Structure 1
């Protein structure tokens, strides 16, 4: 291995708090570098990260966690996930899921999403009253996407509080330096989530509705193919975990960025037509997902190094989205940035299938925050979660004025 060693520790608290200076220093050394601690290659530039995501010789190759008897349900929900598959299995599953999505579910929910966002902001404003702090993260950013996914799937309102704790426990398995307790909690959550969705799917077979879960239960392609029970359950879990985690963290990271860049907040408030562009910039500026792994199915050259067959290489999405070769003044937040090929939703065959829904949610929530308040102020420093891969806040205390 001729690549220099990575000059950063992705588990270091300072890097987790603000990885972007470390990314810039590493990018200046080499575009792709070997990380001995993690046992994988890291791509720091936009070009190389994009190549990692698009090169068909670099696949999502799932290997069950071991011992398998300890991680039975966690393995099940990944072994059958579209995110962990390559063609032709991926092609078949994506075709079936896309057919269910194509029935207008996202557009059907758009007015409802906006009403919910308006209602949540009104509640925050009432509780804050221009003087008291409220936590925008727990009281809005986490509430809205979970409610939307639950409404999309047809999860009964009484059961919706179950969803986020399950998701939170499962996604902690994607971090480095996990404890046994974290792993055990992830397996328990996976088992409970799987059992719940099997029961809900059985109910939809008995009594179909107009929700996405019903359509996933009944969808068939032109060859008569359909989702297996395990694929159905896994797809629903992936929609919740991937769908709401990204939206929650763009909401938190993005609002914090605006509160720290008051000129851009004022610019967006003065010109609401910038909102779609601003959402893309907030995703670029502080990416909710920082790292996405692939496995070489043969020797592959990336960024001047050879990734041997069987070894892993990861696209550092946050580093790619701050690459000065692609983004002028990459460390500057610019809500009017129009040339913005960020890769926060991925690229290639694994491009996020829920991206249109995420954009609807984000435009609704930021639009409501801007249109239904006259002032937003950070009450005290936000508190960031201590994980690197899924980058987000634990608390965002804000004072809102009607």
Structure 2
């Protein structure tokens, strides 16, 4: 079967601002479509996107960015990343990382995260005083996850302001239509980040603590295997890049969705027990990551078409999360939605290893916003970042009343 070509223009400002109507039109045409501009297949429906993430014949096959000498550090942190590996390398690395995480780091941090969220919200409320608009992104959404990852890894307080600029520069490499300046900035950031973490890891070898980095340095599996230094450095960078970007963007996209659906905001404020289901719904409603690529290692049939060996296919996570075949009234925000098999954390062997930590952070931040304010009001239209793949806001001006 020959699938139609997807007319979707991922650089169209209208699509970047709101891709969901375009997704709905595409789903009505065919579940999988060829995108000539990107040179890959796109899976629009939940069934097909889920299959893309789970089928073992569709892998994450890393190929160094070229010219390799220009992207030395960027390539290093992807060549050794669990996200870019397939079994058996992926199995070994995930086993080691999971063993370090299993030492109770997420639950250890929960009270600290909740206290930090309250402190950040109180600072916003004090500055706003029910009158002045404050940017919830810079004032809380961006600060909390970076602080949590830094605390998790044991990064000294004085060094923590370095982390988000490095991460911001690196993740812009995942967008389409990059400039030379964007690529150069990403490589500089990767180089500086790698050098910093090598130094920090050396310090943890000399004087280990109770932080995750110390445990990643020392962890061994039953066969005595351990992380190489490149794998260790890459794992720390991935935790920050993937962990904080997703949390920041769920915070921004999610709060904007609640402000635009005041009845759901009121419902959640009146029943805080809905918070866990609300977080899952906010992740579904406006997904922080919209596209995830895989490469066929053999011919694979998906949605009635054949993805030939060597071809790429991408799961459109936001489109899948709005598929009416799976979600009842998908365009409706429902903070009490319980039947919610969203795939914003991925699926299969690449399901996000940091998902439990992300949920702790999101429940803490939204819980603090609701508990420590009596009113939240959008001061002026939010400003969205001009990228499609990683979907988030640049500014979210809100008036908060204690």
Q: TM-score, normalised by structure 2?
A: 1.00
Q: Quote the residue 1:383 is aligned against.
A: 383
The CA deviation string for residues 190-227 of structure 1, in whole angstroms up to 9 with x for no partner, is: 00000000000000001100000000000000000000
Q: Quote the residue 1:394 is aligned against.
A: 394
Q: Quote the residue 2:225 is aligned against.
A: 225
Moved over 6 A (4+): none
Q: What secondary structure is seen at the aligned counterpart in 1 of 2:394? A: strand
1:111 aligns with 2:103: no
Q: Which moved more, 1:3-12 or 1:362-371?
A: 3-12
The CA deviation string for residues 222-264 of structure 1, in whole angstroms up to 9 with x for no partner, is: 0000000000000000000000000000000000000000000
C-alpha distance in 2 between matches for 1:66 and 1:273: 50
Q: What secondary structure is seen at the aligned counterpart in 1 of 2:116? A: helix
Q: What secondary structure is seen at the aligned counterpart in 2 of 1:103? A: coil
For residue 7 of structure 1, report the CA deviation from its aligned partner: 1.9
CA RMSD of aligned residues (A): 0.5
Q: What secondary structure is seen at the aligned counterpart in 2 of 1:377? A: strand
Q: Alignment length, in residue pairs?
A: 402
For residue 11 of structure 1, report the CA deviation from its aligned partner: 1.0
For residue 378 of structure 1, report the CA deviation from its aligned partner: 0.1
Residues 231-310 of structure 1 aligned to structure 2 (within 5 Å) = 231-310=231-310
> Structure 2: which 5+ residue stretches go unaligned?
none
C-alpha distance in 2 between matches for 1:13 and 1:63: 30
C-alpha distance in 1 between matches for 2:248 and 2:8: 27
1:363 aligns with 2:363: yes
For residue 116 of structure 1, report the CA deviation from its aligned partner: 0.1
Q: What secondary structure is seen at the aligned counterpart in 1 of 2:168? A: helix
> Structure 1: which 5+ residue stretches go unaligned?
none
C-alpha distance in 2 between matches for 1:210 and 1:117: 22
C-alpha distance in 1 between matches for 2:163 and 2:181: 20
C-alpha distance in 1 between matches for 2:308 and 2:353: 30
C-alpha distance in 2 between matches for 1:294 and 1:156: 37
Q: Quote the residue 2:57 is aligned against.
A: 57
C-alpha distance in 1 between matches for 2:245 and 2:310: 29
C-alpha distance in 2 between matches for 1:11 and 1:298: 31
C-alpha distance in 2 between matches for 1:51 and 1:226: 32
The CA deviation string for residues 356-389 of structure 1, in whole angstroms up to 9 with x for no partner, is: 0000000000000000000000000000000000
Q: TM-score, normalised by structure 1?
A: 1.00
For residue 2 of structure 1, report the CA deviation from its aligned partner: 1.4
For residue 83 of structure 1, report the CA deviation from its aligned partner: 0.1
